[in-house]
């Protein structure tokens, strides 16, 4: 025992050493009382266990009132993984007045996202999340039930259908081509890869949302403001909010998070009103309407047509619901996709040999031409690289927090109703019992059984988008956009670090886990003719 520990221990000797007969008598009384209380506690817990009531999971004690909040630090996914080594794959901790349970094994994750999926289909919505989505009218935050099933069905069956994905192909292609032209115009200069991809993804999504509803400078102005508000909204969602940990303080909005969210929503609302009103005006003009037989060009046309069809039904589709879904699409399909694409580029630049294999596959499949979406299903190695990046750097390392609609038993422990439940996907993806050399970047691990590793959560070992009923609804769009922009950037250009810059792979935790520092890289052309970049 070292001297510091001896000194620290000495500070507590008053507990067992009395300085007088009175102290010793008082200490004896306290000792006997503690023994009696311990016996009663044991008997009480034994009676509960005999009645079939499972105990709460183990976990750190924390402090009065604030719980474990002062000890969390910044990178929650790694802190939670360390706590799992100490307390096991399921443990509890109090975050203020909020009971939180963290799961860190595939078997426990399966119980929550598959076996008891219905019971865990509600989301633990934050104040900021509710504030920017009309009180949770979107797909992400709305509670599980008939309303959620209706809007998700609209999104998946109507907007994510193969026919509509095909209809939006030219819109996506044009935005990716614009990016390649812009990068070519800046050959030899350091470029912020994450920013390039983020803007491309947002332009793609907005084109698919309302295509050419607005024109010229008006369209450019609306897009710029929309991008700014969405960026601020994502930043707000990443901020810790005391009201989420102490619900009794929510009405005071001490940090002003709810007010900020409502102001951002008001700006989004005005922007979307401009777009929707213009779309409705165009459709009402003679010859500008979209007939049932005519191919719809964008998501807004699909939603407005559905609104008209459902006006006289028991569950009409409102303009507010349409706006909530549009916000979901832009925020969900841009930040996470751009983040993982930047991680892919960073991993490849750290590994020139892997980058070369990706580019050799692109040359074989595409030839010395421009990447097109029909090429994407043949890019097996690039797909494996992307999946390995998702494994090591899941954009949502703790997924979206769940909360059970009733008390449940998981792993032999009780999870009370309304508890915040976090699935530590970052830890699952690095579990040495599941993955060989879990910290190593090995894309080949996804080539041996390609059918096993999809993004839909069918294998609980790999859950970058979650699983079950609340799995990400936009996977088809995200997958196409991700492979398209990465394939195009890697096939059209070689990439090098600026002189003197050091490439690092440290993480910055948030609602989306980004690189700690932005990736800067210098492009040089790979294609044989400059006309291919025109």
Tens of pLDDT, residue by residue over 200-249, are 988 888 888 888 777 777 777 888 888 889 889 988 988 889 999 999 99
Express the helix, strand and coil content of the chain in percent, nearest 5 each.
Answer: 55, 10, 35
Residue-wise pLDDT tens digits, 458-478: 999 999 999 999 999 889 889
Write out the two tokens for 459.
Answer: 């294998």
Which pLDDT belongs to residue 249? 92
Which pLDDT belongs to residue 82? 96
Percentage of the residues of the chain whose pLDDT score is greater than 90? 60
Residue-wise pLDDT tens digits, 414-429: 999 999 999 999 999 9
pLDDT, mean of residues 113-124: 96
Which pLDDT belongs to residue 52? 63
Which pLDDT belongs to residue 295? 54
Return the half-sphere exposure (C-beta side, CA atoms, 13 A cut-off) of residue 379: 30
Residue bearing tokens 């794959």 = 89
Contacts of 56 (CB under 8 A, 6+ apart): 92, 413, 414, 416
Which pLDDT belongs to residue 291? 47
Contacts of 358 (CB under 8 A, 6+ apart): 348, 381, 382, 385, 490
16 has pLDDT over 50: no
Which pLDDT belongs to residue 51? 57
Domains of the chain: 122-533 (1.10.630.10)
Report in angstroms the alpha-carbon separations of 320 from 1, 155, 265, 470: 65, 15, 11, 22
Print burial letters for 128-152: b (CB count within 10 Å at least 16), e (below 16).
Answer: bbbbbbbebbbbbbbebeeebeebb
pLDDT, mean of residues 51-62: 87
Which residues sit opposite 409 in a β-bridge?
414
Cβ–Cβ contacts within 10 Å for residue 195, how many? Answer: 14
Residue-wise pLDDT tens digits, 315-345: 888 999 999 999 888 887 788 889 999 999 9
Residue-wise pLDDT tens digits, 128-185: 999 999 999 999 999 999 999 989 988 888 788 888 888 888 888 999 999 999 999 9
Distance of CA 10 to the CA centre of its chain: 48
3-state secondary structure of 331: helix
Which pLDDT belongs to residue 29? 52
- CA angle centred on 300, ends 299 and 305, rounded to 5°: 100
Is residue 111 within 8 Å of residue 410, measured between CB atoms?
yes
Is residue 354 within 8 Å of residue 361, measured between CB atoms?
no
Please choose, from the candidates 380, 322, 301, 341, the residue with its C-alpha nearest in 3D space to the C-alpha of residue 137: 322
Backbone phi, then psi, for 121, in 5-degree steps?
A: -90, 0
pLDDT, mean of residues 283-311: 70
- CA angle centred on 325, ends 130 and 140, rounded to 5°: 50
Contacts of 430 (CB under 8 A, 6+ apart): 81, 392, 438, 439
Cβ–Cβ contacts within 10 Å for residue 342, how many? Answer: 23
- Spatial separation of the C-alpha atoms in residues 133 and 360, rounded to whole Å: 44
269 has pLDDT over 80: yes
Residue-wise pLDDT tens digits, 445-461: 999 887 789 999 999 99
Which residues sit opposite 410 in a β-bridge?
413
């Amino acid at each position: 025992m070292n001297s510091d520990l001896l000194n620290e221990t000495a500070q507590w000797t008053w507990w067992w050493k009395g300085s007088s007969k009175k102290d010793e008598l008082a200490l004896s009384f306290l000792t006997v009382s503690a023994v009696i209380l311990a016996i009663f506690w044991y008997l009480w817990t034994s009676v509960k266990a005999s009645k079939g009531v499972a105990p709460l999971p183990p976990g750190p004690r924390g402090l009065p009132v604030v719980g474990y909040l002062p000890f969390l630090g910044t990178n929650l996914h790694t802190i939670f993984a360390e706590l799992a080594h100490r307390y096991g794959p399921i443990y509890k901790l109090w975050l203020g007045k909020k009971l939180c349970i963290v799961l860190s094994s595939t078997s426990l994750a399966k119980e929550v996202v598959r076996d008891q999926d219905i019971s865990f289909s509600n989301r633990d919505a934050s104040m900021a999340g509710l504030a920017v989505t009309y009180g949770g009218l979107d797909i992400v935050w709305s509670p599980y039930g008939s309303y959620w099933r209706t809007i998700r069905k609209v999104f998946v069956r109507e907007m994510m259908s193969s026919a509509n994905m095909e209809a939006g192909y030219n819109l996506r292609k044009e935005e990716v081509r614009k990016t390649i032209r812009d990068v070519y115009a800046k050959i030899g200069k350091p470029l912020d890869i994450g920013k390039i991809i983020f803007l491309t993804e947002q332009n793609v999504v907005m084109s698919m949302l309302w295509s050419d509803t607005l024109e010229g400078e008006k369209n450019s102005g609306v897009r710029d403001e929309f991008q700014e508000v969405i960026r601020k909204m994502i930043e707000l969602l990443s901020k810790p909010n005391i009201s989420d940990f102490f619900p009794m303080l929510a009405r005071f909005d001490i940090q002003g998070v709810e007010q900020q969210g409502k102001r951002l929503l008001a700006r989004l609302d005005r922007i979307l009103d401009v777009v929707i009103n213009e779309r409705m005006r165009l459709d009402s003009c003679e010859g500008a309407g979209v007939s049932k037989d005519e191919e719809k060009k964008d998501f807004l046309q699909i939603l407005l047509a559905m609104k008209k069809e459902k006006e006289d039904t028991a569950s009409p589709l409102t303009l507010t619901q349409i706006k909530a879904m549009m916000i979901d699409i832009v925020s969900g399909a841009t930040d996470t996709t751009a983040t993982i694409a930047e991680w892919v580029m960073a991993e490849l630049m750290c590994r020139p040999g892997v980058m070369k294999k990706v580019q050799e596959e692109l040359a074989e499949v595409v030839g010395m031409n421009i990447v097109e979406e029909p090429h994407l299903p043949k890019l097996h190695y690039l797909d494996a690289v992307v999946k390995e990046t998702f494994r090591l750097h899941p954009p949502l390392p703790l997924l979206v927090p769940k909360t059970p609609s009733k008390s449940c038993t998981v792993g032999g422990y009780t999870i009370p109703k309304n508890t915040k439940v976090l699935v530590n996907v970052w830890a699952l993806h690095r579990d040495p019992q599941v993955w060989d050399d879990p910290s190593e970047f090995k894309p080949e691990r996804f080539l041996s059984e390609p059918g096993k590793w999809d993004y839909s959560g069918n294998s609980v070992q790999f859950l970058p988008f979650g699983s079950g009923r609340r799995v990400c609804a936009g996977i088809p769009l995200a997958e196409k956009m991700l492979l398209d922009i990465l394939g195009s950037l890697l096939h059209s250009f070689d990439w090098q670090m600026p002189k003197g810059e050091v490439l690092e792979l440290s993480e910055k935790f948030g609602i989306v886990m980004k690189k700690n520092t932005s990736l800067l890289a210098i492009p040089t052309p790979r294609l044989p003719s400059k006309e291919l970049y025109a």
